[in-house]
């Protein structure tokens, strides 16, 4: 079936999750981050994801903002910066203003020019997503931002992927789902979406029962793949 709907994970896919630590490291007063910001960003992201999985399997859901704060607190302690209250506050503020990857605006505009429906499907809470979309200036090329908060469980639970069909009335095989998380692209492939893993770091494929249908190094090839 032709692709009619292109759906994107948000954090790490459209928005650069390392941008907050990178930006803070360049600002006066946060010189302690100069050498450690890459490690902090990596620990923060990994714990953020791990906490979503653990909360999903233990039926202990909370919103993504809480998970983001918990992940940061762990990362700050891991890197020896847990006593830096001003740094914590600044990093959290910057997370609401994450920059999108350079190719994102043109890629989304090209999809809309082809008549595609476009949306975000994210673990992020609605207010966080709206903040990021507004900061990146891409609201006019997105039809919706779908959040797991409407079902109360994190990806890759099928109830999250169900939100796409409920919103757009489309068949599963007419959806192209794009994520920078291999496990997310695999989960969506198992659900029945055509999927792209945006593998910016050239990492190995996760050893899971289902694999992503496609791999790309960035998002520039999405419009050509989504031919309609």
How far is C-alpha 208 from the geometric centre of its chain's CA atoms? 20
Whose structure tokens read 């890197």? 79
Q: Answer whether 184's CB lies under 8 Å from 156's CB.
A: yes
Strand segments, DSSP code E, in the chain are 5-8, 117-122, 144-147, 175-179, 194-198, 214-216
Verify whether residue 140 is a known catalytic residue.
no
Largest CA distance in the chain: 54
Q: What are the start-end ranges of the E strands in 43-193?
A: 117-122, 144-147, 175-179
DSSP 23-57: HHHTSTT-GGGTTTHHHHHHHHHHHHHHHHHHHHH
- Active-site hit among 9, 16, 184, 194: 9
Both tokens of 194, joined, read 């055509």
SS3 for 68? helix
Active-site residue set: 9
């Amino acid at each position: 079936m032709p692709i009619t709907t292109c759906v994107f994970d948000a954090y790490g896919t459209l928005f650069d999750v390392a941008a907050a630590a990178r930006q803070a490291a360049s600002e006066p007063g946060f010189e302690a981050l100069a050498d450690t910001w890459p490690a902090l960003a990596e620990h923060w992201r990994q714990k953020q994801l791990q906490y979503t999985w653990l909360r999903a399997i233990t039926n202990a859901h909370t919103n993504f903002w809480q998970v983001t704060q918990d992940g940061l607190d762990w990362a700050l302690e891991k890197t020896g910066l847990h006593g830096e209250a001003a740094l914590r506050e600044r990093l959290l503020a910057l997370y609401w203003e994450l920059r999108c990857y350079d190719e994102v605006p043109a890629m989304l505009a090209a999809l809309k020019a082809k008549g595609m429906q476009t949306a975000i499907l994210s673990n992020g809470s609605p207010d966080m997503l709206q903040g990021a979309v507004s900061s990146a200036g891409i609201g006019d090329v997105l039809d919706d931002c779908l959040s797991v908060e409407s079902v109360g469980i994190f990806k890759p639970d099928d109830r999250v992927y169900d939100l796409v069909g409920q919103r757009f009335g489309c068949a599963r095989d007419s959806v192209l789902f794009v994520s920078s998380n291999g496990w997310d692209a695999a989960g969506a492939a198992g659900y029945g979406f055509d999927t792209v893993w945006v593998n910016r770091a050239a990492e190995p494929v996760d050893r899971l029962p289902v694999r992503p249908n496609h791999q790309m190094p960035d998002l520039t090839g999405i419009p050509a793949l989504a031919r309609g």
